[in-house]
Amino acid sequence: MQKYNHKTIEKKWQKVWSDECLYETSNESSGKENFYFLSEFPYPSGNLHVGHWYAFAVPDIFVRFKRMQGFHVLFPIGFDAFGLPAENAAIKHGVNPREWTEKNIAYMTGQIESMGGSFDWSRKVITCQPEYYRWTQWLFLQLFQAGLVYRKEISVNWCPSCKTVLANEQVVSGECERCNSVVEKRNMKQWSVKITDYADRLIDDLESLEWPEEIKTAQRNWIGRSEGSEVDFVIFGFSEKITVFTTRPDTLFGVTYVVLAPEHPLVSVLTNRVKNSDVVRNYVAQAIVQKDIDRLSDGREKTGVLFEGVVAVNPANGEEVPIFVADYVLGSYGTGAVMAVPAHDERDYAFAKKYDLPVRQVVDGGDVSQSAWTGSGVLVNSGSFDGMTTDDAKKKIIDHVGGRISKKYRLRDWTVSRQRYWGVPIPLVYCESCAIQVQDESTGVNNGEAINPGWFAVSDDQLPVLLPEIDDFRPSDDGKSPLSKSAEFVEAMCPRCGGRALRETDTLDTFVCSSWYFLRYCDPKNARQFASSEALSSWMPVDFYSGGSEHTTMHVLYSRFFHKALFDLGLVSESEPYVRRMNRGMILGTDGQKMSKSKGNVLDPDKIVAELGADTMRLYLAFIGPYNEVGSYPWSTEGIIGMRRFLERVWRLFEKVSNVTPDDSTMVLLHRSIEKVAQDITALKFNTAVSQIMVFLNHLEKSGDVSRGVYEQFLLLLSPFAPHMSEELWHMLGNDDFIHVQLWPVHDESLLRSQNVEIVVQINGRVRDKILCSSDASEEDVRLLVFASSRVLQYVGDKDVRKFIYVPRRLVNIVV
């Protein structure tokens, strides 16, 4: 028998499977249940890393198993090909982003093929191709026409290094998520999508999903729903009112001042009418310019300025209280104004102490002489509400002051326009002359046109709006998109009046592209629709979505929103796209650190595959730890050798295959293994599945010749993990069909149940003996056996048996 040569075997079968189209999946199937397994599609960065293997080769085990169980499985792959990194790399190397991306896709495709995965390549989706982004544009326009997209001057996150706007989700503690530059604030006109309209449903619908709690919580935190109420404070002598948002209306009698955020619209109104206008103006000016990273920095002392000469009136007791502007109140949250209750809020307490403002306790239960008391209790100093609990008082005081119940969210609308070249052109045009008319008579226009006067969707027959080939695609500091430099691109015809219109020159955030790719996989070649409803109903919703935790509050949240919006438009038929979502763990370098070029601990999967083979690599990644937990697993160069050894032993075992009849213990272990491996794969615990296969091999090696039938069954169990070797050995046994189209073996339950069981005998909770008895032995049978044991008698002696606990088929505990 030849030595195990992974190179020839792996190459050979990859070609055969591909030539035979073994893994191409039709939308229709007869008598099989459909199953859609999705793994986040890769970004064509240029090179595959071990993380890609972990993302695709390990789920392939699950997918192959599902197929053997008789499911019709969709396991697609594609590339998330638009976006900043490709463009930055292209700029750096002086090449065109398209060429750069295409080259990377071609190279990485070959690398992915070396995994021996059972992807349906015929469904490949590449987001930067017009056949795909035509539908990204079309879907975006559906949202536009539904009034979910608006253009508005807003304060945006500007990355000075990437030279583009970032969504809130792309800013991590004041820095650009991608390049770590400090993000600046700029006021710019941007296209945003109303994800906040869906905030409640995005939270509430989490209930129905089979997702790990940590993902649900992270999304809830991100959306940050807070239930409270709005209360109006009249400004003495002014017509304007200050509306505050509070979750503690029960403390209204403890208000000793009111604060406006520097961005609050009333600030400028008041500034002009107070004695210290200059001081206020200076304060506001410096506060607004500050970067978030400074403004939010830890332990920062609170600052603010009093509006001299104006007062607000507390609606609860008619008391006049001073008004401040202070940057500890955020313009972007709530109403941008708060009522300050120093006695019962830590921030207000700190501010009050600094500016020597009164602290008035209105809830009994804590000492407010040193710090704020934020707990609940009984009201004091609150007029007729004294003696009520904080809970009761909330509603009553809201009624008393005419407040409104109100919910606020941390979530901001999703800014989707980017001032960069390598993205989907936003398919909208602007017509100045129509802008005025649309505002006058808004009938006959869709919601998008009504809320964005002068802006029109490019008509269906004009899609896609192609991304033009231009020479200078570099971004600029002034916030103008590179596309605006192409005069040819900018010129368009107004779909309403037929006159001259201008194209939008910003491109879409790549997260828009990836918000619906799983729908396209269902029907990737459809030229008339983004996907047919038949194709969608075959596969959607996604049964299992595997990805990385970094996308919890970005891609996963965006795509849930996008899907819900499409659901409301009747374009898809379920409101949630993913039944199960899982965050996989991370493979660390051999030093236990996250792999990075700067640390020099990056592993090259190509080298490992060349040296040890794809099957070894797959097995090791399966074995390294439980797949369904967000653990981080350090790579071990010695550990993977163990997997290679195991495969070589499987290979050598072939020589012991003969026509012997397997003994009982072998048959029992075979069936136990069939059962356990199936259970473990189902639960994504590939590590223990591999372990069971190893236990089985250890047994077979020790027990003389191996029956051909048993060896075949062994190979079936191994085939999802090591598809190439098991296919080769399968054929060496004389089979001429593929191992990967075989059915998963069925374990013989009655065989397993008929076996004798070992029962642990404890005395006072300590293991003292073990006895063997038939699995259907009665408690009385067991009792007789136990008390026949000399060891038991030795321990029990002449003491009274106070308790005899019997756990069937498991253990006995005798309490003396």
Partner RNA sequence: GCCGCGGUGGCGGAAUUGGUAGACGCGCUGGACUCAAAAUCCAGUGGUAGCAAUAUCAUGAGAGUUCGAGUCUCUCCCGCGGCACCA
Q: How many residues at the interface with RNA, by CB under 7 A?
A: 84
From the list 51, 160, 479, 642, which residue makes contact with RNA (rule: CB under 7 A)? Answer: 642
Instruction: Give the nearer residue to RNA in terms of CB position, either 135 or 373.
Output: 373
Which is closer to RNA, CB of 110 or CB of 592?
592
Return the residues of window 328-347 that contact RNA according to CB under 7 A. Answer: 328-330, 332-334, 336, 338, 345, 347
| Paired tokens of 623 | 């074995």
Paired residues of 231 in beta bridges: 244
Q: Name the residue nearer to RNA (CB basis): 683 or 788.
A: 683
Of 476-515, binders to RNA (CB under 7 A) are none
Site string for RNA, 673-692 (x = CB under 7 A): ------------x-xx-xx-
Q: Are 421 and 469 in contact (CB under 8 A)?
A: no
The amino acid at 116: G
CB 636 to RNA: min, Å: 5
**The binder of RNA chosen from 105, 108, 162, 261 (CB under 7 A):** 261
**617, 609 Cβ separation under 8 angstroms:** yes
Scanning residues 127 to 186, which ones bind RNA (CB under 7 A)? 172-173
- Return the structure tokens found at 512: 């828009």
Using the contact rule CB under 7 A, the part of the chain among 214-222, 365-373, 464-472, 715-723 near RNA is 214-222
Under 8 Å between Cβ of 519 and 540 = yes
Contacts of 261 (CB under 8 A, 6+ apart): 267, 325, 326, 327, 329, 330, 331, 336, 337
Q: Which residues of 255-283 are buried (b: 16+ CB within 10 A; e: fewer)?
A: bbbbbbbbbbebbeebbeebeeeeebeeb
The C-alpha atoms of residue 441 and residue 234 are separated, in whole angstroms, by 37
Q: Which stretch binds RNA (CB under 7 A): 14-22, 153-161, 570-578, 765-773?
A: 765-773
Residues 693-712 contacting RNA, CB under 7 A: 694-695, 698, 701-702
Residue from 42, 228, 254, 475 touching RNA (CB under 7 A): that is 228
Exactly one of 410, 580, 656, 708 binds RNA (CB under 7 A); which one?
410
Instruction: Return the residues of window 767-786 that contact RNA according to CB under 7 A.
Output: 767-768, 770
Q: Which is nearer to RNA, 749 or 758 (CB)?
A: 758
Least gap, CB of 196 to RNA (angstroms): 12
Q: What is the Cβ-side half-sphere exposure of residue 277, based on CA atoms within 13 angstroms?
A: 7
692, 673 Cβ separation under 8 angstroms: yes
- Select from 764, 773, 787, 789 the one that contacts RNA (CB under 7 A): 764
Complex with RNA: residue 270 or 557, whichever CB lies closer:
557
In this structure, are residues 219 and 552 in contact, taking their beta carbons and an 8 Å threshold? Answer: yes
Whether 382 and 362 have beta carbons less than 8 Å apart is answered as yes
Q: Does 548 bind RNA (CB under 7 A)?
A: no
Give Rg (Cα) of the chain: 34
Task: Find the shortest distance in angstroms from Cβ 694 to RNA.
Answer: 4
Name which of 265 and 499 has its Cβ closer to RNA.
265
C-beta neighbour count of 367 within 10 angstroms: 8
Q: Which of 757, 772, 755, 774 is nearest to 666 (CA)?
A: 755
Using CB under 7 A as the binding rule, the residues of this chain from 448 to 477 that contact RNA are none
Q: Tell which one of 221, 529, 754, 774 touches RNA (CB under 7 A).
A: 221
Instruction: Select from 156-164, 514-522, 625-633, 723-731 the region that touches RNA (CB under 7 A).
Output: 625-633
* Interaction of residue 549 with RNA, rule CB under 7 A: yes
Interacting span for RNA (CB under 7 A) from 46-54, 150-158, 645-653, 703-711 = 645-653
HSE-up of 111 (CA within 13 Å, CB side)?
23
Give the binding range for RNA (CB under 7 A) out of 76-84, 143-151, 564-572, 644-652.
644-652
Which of 356, 638, 736, 800 lies at the binding interface for RNA (CB under 7 A)? Answer: 638
Is the CB of residue 137 less than 8 Å from the CB of residue 463?
A: yes
Specify whether the CB–CB gap between 50 and 595 falls below 8 A: yes
Pick 91 or 630: Cβ nearer RNA:
630
Min dist. Cβ of residue 238 to RNA (A) = 21
Quote the least distance from Cβ 587 to RNA, whole Å.
10
Per-residue CA distances from 421 to 91, 151, 239, 473 (Å): 11, 20, 48, 6
Residue 226 sits in the site that holds RNA (CB under 7 A): yes
Specify the residue, 139 or 617, whose C-beta has the smaller distance to RNA: 617
What does residue 449 show for φ and ψ, rounded to 5 degrees? -70, -35
